[in-house]
Amino acid sequence: MSLIAELKRRNVFRVGAAYVICAWVIAQVADLVLDNIEAPDWVMQVIMLLLAIGLPLALIFAWAYELTPEGIKREAEINRAESITQLTSRKLDFAIIGLLVIAVVFLVVDNYVLNVEPEPAELIVEGDLEGEPNGNGGSIAVLPFANRSAREEDAFFVDGMHDDILTHLAKIRSLKVISRTSVMEYRDTNKNLKTIGRELGAATLLEGGVQRAGNHVLINVQLIDAETDEHLWADIYDRQLTAANIFAIQTEIATAIADALRATLSPDEERRLATVPTDNLDAYEAYLLGKQHLRNRNSGAYSTAVEYFQKAIELDRDFSLAYVGLAETYILQVFYTGVPREETLEKGRDAAERAIALNGQLGEAYNALAAIKQDTYDYEGAERDFKRALELNPNYAQTYHWYGWMLTYELGRPEDALEIHKQAVELDPLSGPVLSNVATDLFALGRFDEAREWIDLSFERAPAYVENDEGVGQVNWLIKGRLDEAIVSYRKVAALDPGNVLHAASLGLVYLDLGDLVEAERWARRSIELGPDAFFSNVAMCMLQQRLGNEVEAFDHASRANAIFPYAAPSIRPLEFLRDRDLRAGRALEARALYERHYPELASREDPRVGRRNLEAAIGLALVALRVEEPDYANLLLDRSLEILREVPRLGPFGHGIADVKIYALRGESEKALSTLRRAIDERWRELWWYYLEHDLTLESLHGEPEYRAMVSEIRAEMAQQLARVREMEKSSELEPIPEISAMTR
């Protein structure tokens, strides 16, 4: 008998076929289940190995053994006349058919049921975060590189190489490059590549490792299709450790990836990729350390970052990227710490302009210069430079972040900002600041439920981001009128970042609204100690001194705040305080001049240009116009303000509060003003209630109305109840402890 005939008789072929089909089904089910539970890759590898080992074992078993009515016996022990292999073969045929049916059903379910894309979650404004590839180039995420050096302290160098390769790729317009903030969340992750790609919205992933040994560097990288796990390209770079070689490797990697993804490189992009920022290795390493500290984004790390960037510049006066890092650090110091504003911004401007002079193709440099122009109120120049930055580096998420921030906070264009910030989310889907920016835009648009969903998303995706709790605090303070709950959130952020001026000032203002003057003074003074030249600290001290009855001190801090930022910051406007002081002193013409100097677009008696940004200023100027007997001009300002109010929500960090009440009061429509105030109180407006209802001259005509006094008493009583709740939380240790001032870092 031939071997083939004997294999058939013993059902070896049938057993092999049944095993292969069964193993395929097991592998497919395992892949689906393990992918959904985010099991590590080695689990699937073990399963595949066991299934592969099982095939020859099954074939050997089928050859050597036979199924009989008495059980399994060795084939050599069975009389051929008593063999039932023909019956067994029929059973195996049915088993094979059954397994084939199962396989077909699984294929149908997997491809047409389980593989259907889910509907976009409600927290996405438009579309899904998992975007399609950009143009022909596709989308890529550069995962954190492994440090394969013998020394742990080389980690900063490895991270710097990773960051620079990512930055190189970001210069290619036809690629969508996920920002560093998001990809760093996958350091030491157990998630498989398919899951990472889907979460980041990246079609391809770059993995790599860096080994630094003495004057040598070894870098290996591989480009992988996130969906299929297919290796698209890989290479190893073994070079002498010099600055020139490092930048050459970065350029070669970026160019190779662009080729692998069929991305089109323009001549300008090729030149930008080939630029060598510095030939000094020590300067480059100091620059990397500066970036490492800058990324910490807290009030204590900025001064160290400045030192490293300055060291890099001392080692190489023509190192353009070091000037960019220095400029960005100065910008963030002004916002988060108490450094002298004008002096620091001027140093930042010098650094940004020097970077551009050295390399006019640096999008990051134009981004820094734009932010400085924004902070010095040159909004037209800032917008022009932000747009130039995006032309040069279309994947730089920070430009979208800062540009959108200016559009919402200072230009009153939250609709435009929302579109800009949505693009930032595409590039940086796990960044707390970027996600919270979308929430801010939605606050400004009055879409509060959506805004809270984005705050929750930021908690989910960036749980370490300090400002998440501040967002919750804003919701409770400025939308829900639950100041007791706001205290909980603001105390958390103050404990996490005790050197932050804004957090301390916010706590002082919330305690003022509650009527706790002791705690209000503690936090207002703390904010001043942290940032004597900061806008928010001077506002908090102005409000505190006003409530304490210290008018001279209040005026001093109002003047300082107005000099720092004279324009209408959301809800906090020292210009109103200065206006009322002048009016009470009979200096109406001086008050008018103050407004017209800061808001020249409102000065026209025939066509004052009123918008979201100058809404409160227009109402305040209308009060002044009535005092200097210009009723027609005042009414024109009020009419146009009322039109703008239809676009602005009452509540939230960008809400108009009770601007409509002020308009009706200035028009002499007391009954309408009172009913509107009643509605505002019922809608939970509470921010700085005591100041506007008891001190703001726009409402002076209502002060004698019994209904008005009753509403003031109602809010005061409610604040007393909420303050009692805060006292209970203090006793039960529900509030974060107050950090000592000596523990704070500048």
CATH of 566-703, one of 1.10.10, 1.20.120, 2.130.10, 1.25.40: 1.25.40
For 358-377, b where at least 16 C-beta lie within 10 A, e where not — what string?
A: bbebbbbbbbbbbbbbbbbe
CATH (residue range 278-394): 1.25.40.10
Q: What is the DSSP letter of 11?
A: T
CA pair distance 575, 70, nearest whole angstrom: 100
Same fold, 278-394 and 466-557+704-746: yes
Could you tell me which of 388, 497, 474 has the C-alpha nearest to residue 655? 474
Low-confidence stretches of the chain (pLDDT beneath 50): 113-137, 570, 742-746
Q: Shortest CA distance to 424 belongs to which of 79, 60, 131?
A: 131
Phi first, then psi: what are they for 656, rounded to 5°? -85, -5
- Find out whether 75 and 65 touch, Cβ atoms under 8 Å: yes
**What integer pLDDT is reported at residue 128 of this predicted model?**
36
| Host H or E run for residue 421 | helix 414-427
pLDDT of residue 170: 86
How far apart CA 505 and CA 530 sit, in angstroms, is 10
CA angle 511, 513, 515 (to 5 degrees): 70
472 CB burial (10 A radius; 0-12, 13-18, 19+): buried
C-alpha 369/C-alpha 304 separation (Å) is 22
Domain boundaries, the chain: 3-114, 138-274, 278-394, 403-462, 466-557+704-746, 566-703
Write down the architecture of domain 138-274 according to CATH: 3-Layer(aba) Sandwich (3.40)
Q: What is the pLDDT of residue 317?
A: 96
> Does domain 403-462 fall into CATH 1.10.1200.10?
no
pLDDT for position 76: 64
Measured CA to CA, the distance from residue 704 to residue 343 in angstroms comes to 48
CA pair distance 654, 447, nearest whole angstrom: 12
Closest to 656 in 3D by CA, of 610, 706, 588: 610
**Hey, is 218 helix, strand or coil?**
strand
Q: What is the DSSP letter of 119?
A: P
Sign of CA dihedral 390, 396, 401, 406: negative
Give me 36's structure tokens.
């959904």
Say if strands 65-68 and 71-74 run parallel, antiparallel, or are unpaired.
antiparallel
Task: Give me the architecture of the 466-557+704-746 domain, per CATH.
Answer: Alpha Horseshoe (1.25)
Q: How many CB atoms lie within 10 A of CB 256?
A: 15
Give the separation between CA 11 and CA 88, rounded to whole angstroms: 8
Contacts of 249 (CB under 8 A, 6+ apart): 217, 219, 237, 239
> Phi/psi at 139 (nearest 5 deg)?
-120, 145
* Helices 12-36, 85-109: crossing angle, 10 deg rounding: 30
CA distance 654 to 445: 8
Q: Which residues pair with 208 in a beta bridge?
A: 221
The H or E element spanning position 338 is none
- According to the model, what pLDDT value does residue 2 have? 67
The amino acid sitting at 574 is P
Helix residue ranges, H only, 78-121:
85-109
Report DSSP state, residue 145.
Answer: P
pLDDT of residue 125: 35
Q: State residue 314's pLDDT score.
A: 96
